[in-house]
Amino acid sequence: MDKTSSIDKTTGGKYNVETAEILANEAQILPIAESTPTYEQLLQLFPTAAKFWKQYVEAHMAVNNDDAIRQILVGVC
């Protein structure tokens, strides 16, 4: 993965919530394998953003990836 994050490449800057929302919405239409890095970046920058956690878990639920869901939830708790 490129050292420059997809968030930094946008004009909004690293902690811009509007930019993060756009990226989260774009990640929803991608396959989980492609959207995982985006969700992980978002959750590193915004660890208390319930919306991003919910979207990330729901993306794994859509493909019945129970192991990944458990890992996400164990990491949170």
pLDDT band for position 11 (cuts 50, 70, 90): low
What span, in angstroms and rounded, lies between the C-alpha atoms of 62 and 28?
A: 11
pLDDT band for position 30 (cuts 50, 70, 90): very high
**Average of per-residue pLDDT across 11-34:** 90
Yes or no: domain 6-76 corresponds to CATH 3.40.50.2300: no
pTM reported for the whole predicted model: 0.78
Range name among 7-16, 25-34, 53-62 with the lowest pLDDT average: 7-16
What span, in angstroms and rounded, lies between the C-alpha atoms of 65 and 51?
A: 19
Domain residue spans of the chain: 6-76
**CB–CB of 69/61 below 8 Å?**
yes
**Average of per-residue pLDDT across 27-49:** 94
